Amino acid sequence: MNPTVQTLLYLGTVVVILAVLHVPLGEWMFKVFTDERDWRLERLLYRVVGVAPRSEQRWTVYATSVVAFGVVSVLFLWLLILGQGWLPWGMGRSQDWHTALNTAISFTTNTNWQSYAGETGAGHTVQMVGLTVQNFVSAGTGIAVAVALIRGIARHGTDRLGNFWVDLTRSCVRVLLPIAAVAAVLLIVGGVIQNLDVPHTITTITGGQQVIQGGPVASQEAIKLLGTNGGGFFNANSAHPFENPNGWTNLLEIVLVLMIPFSLPWTYGRMVGDRRQGGVVTAVMGVLYAVSVGLTAWAERAAASGLAGSLEGKEVRFGIVPSVVFGAATTGTSTGAVNSMHESYSALGGGVLMINMQLGEVSPGGVGTGLYGMLVMVVITVFIAGLMVGRTPEVLGKTIGRREITYAALASVTMPALVLLFTGASLVLPAARAALLNSGPHGLSEMLYAYTSASNNNGSAFAGLSADQPWLNLTLGGCMFIARFAIIVFTLALAGALVEQRRRPATVGTMPTHTPLFATLLTGIVIVLAALTFFPALALGPLAEALS
């Protein structure tokens, strides 16, 4: 089959499935976060935790709740990992203190970067009680923050953004748990394992010895993908046949990664009372994702002569196109799952996957994080466009003034500052440079990719970097924590500034934010800001490697 036709057919299948799902799922999430009633299970949880569900919070209290929950989660998970040797199903597995701290921060921040080998670094209890639980609540936190920002835009003349504990609970109970349960069953049907077996050593037909791992994989795999988390139960991640056995499970996993990020814009449009606003966001996300798939597929096809293209680092049971669509989906969201080795992609193909993250992971971005990241870019676009054409910078009747653009700017520069600062520092330190598998431009790409992944709460890797050492574990962990919670605080501060304003009626001087022109401007601003920030580093890394 012609490579272009194959790419279009596979991508088209994903698009059709998402088109069918995004309206009912987006409408359901709209009902979830506007419902005045609590479910019985939710009321029980509120009583146990001591939450007053009808009490709403100012942005400062909402942000404090998010950060405090994150800090407590990191400490709990860190101690759980360090103490797994005394737990049931610990199976003698352990991690160094700095590896365990990196892992705890990683799963709490929805990053799921793994400095450890999945099947050898975490026993079944840690996988279930620690990692899988964090996969749910970290994704729920992202959705909650996105909903709070939507309320900041939709409401006016108040200082309340909702209740974080209610939003988190509803995200998990009404959205993530039901879908993950169905997805886990589908994955089991497809061949993903689900058991509590200890490793078995078997004798192969050639007389050699091989260890066959077991574990509760399907239950973790479902939320790993649905929640745009990404930590693999096995070190090979979704390239492992126990996590991703065949072509249709691969397609299912891609859909799970993309379904909530592409559905939340519908929720946004419904909550602000103008579905066209959500349509613009969806269109921009979709264009960025489709372009990344096309460029990566072209790069991998052109990287080797012959019809097959470059199959290095890719599973033969998937091939180039399903691997590329999967890679673009996970790097375009905050998902560390991989079904192929990004290290082995061509220089340009790996560079596109890196750029997906450097855009701010808004194509379409993670669960919740993609939407609030894109809405921050909407604010910046309105402000810049207003300055250019002399129109009032407004978003749905809310003026974008000094305070609002300051919070939006701080949210947008946090990630690039962390990436460039720590990539440069690590390349200077001999101990960090020794962790690189390659020298020259590809070595720079390995280090740049690692800090890009950590600072975007993505979690995928150019696996040539041996990251399990104190400096890299601690600095990568620091990037994950700061990028996650600093951006959340700035986003909630923006929501707080917007929610206090009275809505202004639209005038002839108001720039509409629901038109194709605005969608084009928004796309351009996303690309230009990333290019201005990262082009010098990319020129020394993947571009220099490609030209050589």
Asked if residue 70 has pLDDT above 70, the reply is yes
Give CA–CA dist 203/211, Å, rounded: 9
Q: What pLDDT is recorded for position 308?
A: 52
Q: What pLDDT is recorded for position 8?
A: 87
**Which has the minimum average pLDDT: 15-24, 70-79, 87-96, 276-285?**
87-96
- Domain coordinates of the chain in residue numbers? 1-171+251-548
**Residue located via tokens 């995200």:** 171
Asked if residue 191 has pLDDT above 90, the reply is yes
Asked if residue 475 has pLDDT above 70, the reply is yes
Distant-in-sequence, close-in-space partners of 199: CB < 8 Å, separation ≥ 6: 91, 119, 211, 212, 213, 214
Q: What pLDDT is recorded for position 226?
A: 97
pLDDT mean over 281-297: 96
438: pLDDT confidence band, cut at 50, 70 and 90?
confident
Q: What pLDDT is recorded for position 387?
A: 85
Q: What pLDDT is recorded for position 305?
A: 54
Percent of the chain with pLDDT over 90: 81
Q: What pLDDT is recorded for position 471?
A: 95
Which residue type does 364 have? Answer: P
Instruction: Give the β-pairing of 200-203 and 209-212.
Output: antiparallel
Give the 3-state secondary structure percentages of the chain, helix then strand then coil, rounded to 5: 65, 5, 30
Task: List 209's β-bridge partners, or say none.
Answer: 203
505: pLDDT confidence band, cut at 50, 70 and 90?
confident
Q: What pLDDT is recorded for position 90?
A: 87
Q: What pLDDT is recorded for position 301?
A: 85
Q: What pLDDT is recorded for position 462?
A: 87
pLDDT mean over 217-239: 93
Q: Which of 249, 230, 197, 251 is nearest to 118 (CA)?
A: 230
Provide the greatest CA pair distance for the chain.
Answer: 80
pLDDT mean over 130-135: 95
Q: Which of 529, 537, 343, 342 is nearest to 424 (CA)?
A: 537
Q: Which of 461, 460, 475 is nearest to 429 (CA)?
A: 475
pLDDT mean over 282-304: 92
pLDDT mean over 220-247: 93
E-assigned strand segments in 196-293: 200-203, 209-212
Question: 175-178 — which CB contacts under 8 Å span 24+ positions?
Answer: 175/28, 175/29, 175/32, 175/140, 175/143, 175/260, 176/136, 176/139, 176/140, 176/223, 176/226, 176/227, 177/136
Asked if residue 4 has pLDDT above 90, the reply is no
Q: Are 288 and 362 in contact (CB under 8 A)?
A: yes
- Crossing angle between the packed helical segments 440-455 and 347-358, to the nearest 10 degrees: 30
Asked if residue 304 has pLDDT above 80, the reply is no
75: pLDDT confidence band, cut at 50, 70 and 90?
very high
Averaged pLDDT score across all residues of the chain: 93
Q: Are 76 and 112 in contact (CB under 8 A)?
A: no
Percent of the chain with pLDDT over 70: 99
Asked if residue 44 has pLDDT above 90, the reply is yes
pLDDT mean over 437-461: 94
**Which has the minimum average pLDDT: 188-192, 226-230, 304-308, 380-384?**
304-308
Give CA–CA dist 192/473, Å, rounded: 30
528: pLDDT confidence band, cut at 50, 70 and 90?
very high
Asked if residue 307 has pLDDT above 60, the reply is no
**Which has the minimum average pLDDT: 86-90, 116-120, 507-511?**
507-511
Asked if residue 146 has pLDDT above 70, the reply is yes
SS3 201: strand
**Which has the minimum average pLDDT: 20-29, 189-198, 200-209, 274-283?**
200-209
309: pLDDT confidence band, cut at 50, 70 and 90?
low
Q: What pLDDT is recorded for position 311?
A: 81
Asked if residue 161 has pLDDT above 90, the reply is yes
Asked if residue 507 has pLDDT above 80, the reply is no
Q: Are 8 and 2 in contact (CB under 8 A)?
A: no
The gap from C-alpha 220 to its chain's centroid, in whole angstroms, comes to 16
